[in-house]
Amino acid sequence: MKESEGTKLLEGFLNGAKEVVNQKQELNRINVFPVADGDTGSNLAALMQTILDQVSIQTNSIKDGLNQLSEAAMMGARGNSGMIFAQYFYGLSTSYDDALVAEKALVYAAQEASKKAYQAVLEPKEGTILSVMHVWSEHLVEQIEHGNTLIEALTVAKRQTKAALEQTQFQMAVLKKNKLVDAGAKGFYYFIAGLTEYFCNGDVSHYEKMQVDQQEAIEEHFLSEAPRYRYCSEFLVKQLTIEFDTFKAQLAHYGDSLVLIGDQTQVKIHIHTSEPARLMSYLVSNGQVTYQKVDDMQLQYQIGQNAKAKIAIVTDSIADLPKDFSLEHQVHVLPMNLLLDEETFLDKLTIEPDYLQQRLKIAKSMSTAQPNIKTVDTLLSFLEGKYDHVLVISVAAKLSGTYQLITQRIKEKQLSSNWIQVIDSKLNSIAQGLLVKRAVELVEADKSFETVVNELQSLRERIFIYVAVADLDPMIQSGRIPQFLGKIAQKASVHPIVSLNEEGDGKLIGASLSQKQSLKKITKKVSGFANKQRLEAVYVTHVFNEQAALDWKTSLNARAIPVDAIVESSAAIAISAGQSSLAIAGVLKEEEK
Final residue before a domain boundary, out of 172, 201, 230: 201
For residue 376, the number of C-alpha atoms closer than 13 Å in the C-beta half-sphere is 24
Question: What is the spatial distance between Cα 10 and Cα 32, in angstroms, rounded to a whole number?
Answer: 32
Q: Is 217 or 315 the better-scoring residue by pLDDT?
A: 315
Beta bridge partners of 587: 463, 537
Cα separation, 277 vs 286, in Å, equals 15
Distance (Å, whole) CA 255 – CA 554: 40
Confidence of residue 467 (pLDDT cuts 50, 70, 90): very high
Contact predicate 23/190, CB 8 Å? yes
The most distant pair of C-alpha atoms in the chain lies apart, rounded to whole Å, by: 96
Distance CA 348, CA 517 (A): 31
Residue count (the chain) = 593
Give the angle subtended at the CA of 465 by the CAs of 459 and 471, to the nearest 5°. 160
In a domain, 271, yes or no: no
Chain mean pLDDT for the chain: 89
pTM of the entire structure?
Answer: 0.78
Domain annotation covers residue 15: yes
CA 192 to chain centre: 31
Determine, yes or no, domain membership for 356: no
Rounded Cα gap, residues 530 and 497, in angstroms: 20
In a domain, 74, yes or no: yes
Q: How far is CA 341 from CA 141, 318, 367, in A?
A: 50, 20, 9
Beta bridge mates, 300: none
CA 259 to CA 122: how far, in whole Å?
7
In angstroms, how far is CA 205 from the centroid of its own chain? Answer: 33
Confidence class for position 478, pLDDT limits 50, 70, 90 = low
Query: How far apart, in whole angstroms, are the C-alpha atoms of residue 81 and residue 147?
Result: 33
Peptide bond into 474 cis (omega under 30): no
* Least confident window among 22-26, 40-44, 345-349: 40-44
CA 281 to CA 247: how far, in whole Å?
A: 13
Asked if 195 and 20 count as a contact pair (C-beta separation under 8 A), the reply is: no
How many structural domains does the chain have?
2
Provide the domain limits for residue 128: 3-201
Is residue 311 within 8 Å of 452, Cβ to Cβ? Answer: yes
Whether residue 492 has pLDDT greater than 50: yes
> In 3-state terms, what secondary structure has residue 238?
strand
Strand, helix or coil for residue 468? strand
Give me the amino acid identity at 509.
Answer: I
Tell me 52's DSSP state: H
Tell me the pLDDT tens digit for each residue of 265-324: 989 999 999 999 999 999 999 999 988 999 999 998 899 888 999 999 999 999 999 989
Q: Has residue 342 been placed in a domain?
A: no
Tens-place pLDDT, residues 49-104: 999 988 887 877 899 999 999 999 988 888 888 889 999 999 999 999 988 998 99
Domain boundary residue among 156, 177, 201?
201
205 band by pLDDT with thresholds 50, 70 and 90: low
- Considering the domain boundaries, does residue 339 fall inside one? no
Which CATH number do you get for residue 577?
Answer: 3.30.1180.10
Alpha-carbon gap, residue 550 to 571, rounded angstroms? 20
Among candidate residues 201, 228, 248, the one where a domain is terminated: 201
Q: Does residue 348 lie in a domain region?
A: no
**Gap between the Cα atoms of 263 and 269, Å rounded:** 11
Please state which of the ranges 68-72, 286-290, 343-347, 476-480 shows the lowest mean pLDDT: 476-480
What's 56's domain CATH number?
Answer: 1.25.40.340
Instruction: Report yes or no on 79 lying in a domain.
Output: yes
